[in-house]
Amino acid sequence: MGLLSKKDTRLILDPLADDNPITIQVLGICSALAITAQLKPSIVMAVSVIFVLGLGNVVISLMRNIIPSKIRIIVQLIVVATLVIIVDQVLKAFAYELSKELSVFIGLIITNCIIMGRFEAFALGNGPWKAFLDGVGNALGYGVILIIVGFFRELLGSGTLFGFKVLGDSVEKTGLYAIGYENNGFMVLPPMALIVVGIIIWVQRSRNSALIEEN
């Protein structure tokens, strides 16, 4: 890959696994619990965060030498807020149903700790290209977990994927439902999302014991 040096590749790939913002840094949990009951909103949320974090990191990185450090949080907030409003307006214009479904959570991207975390930890100290890669990488890592959780929650909780009834019709009793299978209502509730995230963390750390914190 001519475009990406080895270091750059790591900026993108590390957050996907061993430095995942949700499972390792334990940031951005609230939105992971709130919107993952279905797969579609999970993906929309992931894409929105990739947009906001990728672009936001570049903007902050470009301004990094002119932001007075005393008011940097306010500046960061303005940047995120602007980007989030753009996402919100685009969704309202082109995917109204989805934006209603995600409701307040698009607006709450502003409070997603991953975003402010990356601004503070990376964008303020690195050039725009690297900041862009870092932003996209972390947002991807966030998105991957969202999609895994959303997949299991929608499949087991509603028996559908993207709204398609992959396990059969639960009302007319076809497919799996014909032999007595039933949807797991617990999966639709947010506590189960926390447990699913917990299981992902468990699997990840038992595969790579270097990730286990000492206490």
Partner 1 sequence: MGLKQNLHTLKMKYKGTKMAPAFNAIHTFLYLPNETTHNGTHIKAADDLKRTMNMVIMSLVPCLLFGIFNAGYQYNVQTGDVTKALSFFSTEFWNFSNFTIGAWKVLPLVVVSYGVGLIVEFIFAVIKGHEVEEGYLVTGMLVPLIVPVDIPLWMLSIAVIFGVVIGKEVFGGTGMNILNPALTIRAFLFFAYPTWMSGDKVWVTGAVDTVGQPDAISGETILGSLAQNNGFGDWSMMDQFLGFIPGSVGETSKLLIVVGALILILSKIGSWRIILSTLVGALSMGLIFNGVVNAGWVTESSKFFGLMNVDFWQHLFIGSILFGAVYMATDPVTASQTNKGKWIYGFLIGFISIMIRVFNPAYPEGVFLAILLMNVFAPTIDHYVLEGNIKKRAKRLKLKTA
Among 184, 204, 205, 211, binds partner 1 (CB under 8 A): 184
Nearest to 128 by CA among 49, 55, 48: 55
Nearest to partner 1 of 74, 195 (CB atom)? 195
> What separation in angstroms does the CA of 181 have from each of 22, 37, 47, 136, 178?
32, 19, 33, 40, 7
Q: How far is the CB of 205 from partner 1 (least distance, A)?
A: 11
- The answer to the question of residue 169 lying near partner 1 (CB under 8 A) is no
Among 180, 209, 210, 212, binds partner 1 (CB under 8 A): 180
Report the SS3 class of residue 164: strand
Piece in contact with partner 1 (CB under 8 A), picked from 53-61, 124-132, 159-167, 191-199: 191-199
Q: Which two tokens stand for residue 70?
A: 């005393």
- The answer to the question of residue 200 lying near partner 1 (CB under 8 A) is no
Output the 3-class SS for 87-137: HHHHHHHHCHHHHHHHCHHHHHHHHCHHHHHHHHHCHHHCCHHHHHHHHHH
Nearest to partner 1 of 105, 181 (CB atom)? 181
- The answer to the question of residue 195 lying near partner 1 (CB under 8 A) is yes
Among 7, 70, 182, 210, binds partner 1 (CB under 8 A): 182
Q: How far is the CB of 45 from partner 1 (least distance, A)?
A: 24
Q: Which two tokens stand for residue 209?
A: 């014991």
> What separation in angstroms does the CA of 101 have from each of 26, 33, 97, 98?
25, 14, 6, 5
Place of tokens 């990488």: 137
Piece in contact with partner 1 (CB under 8 A), picked from 84-92, 112-120, 131-139, 185-193: 185-193
Residues engaged in binding partner 1 (CB under 8 A): 180-182, 184-187, 189, 191, 195, 198, 202
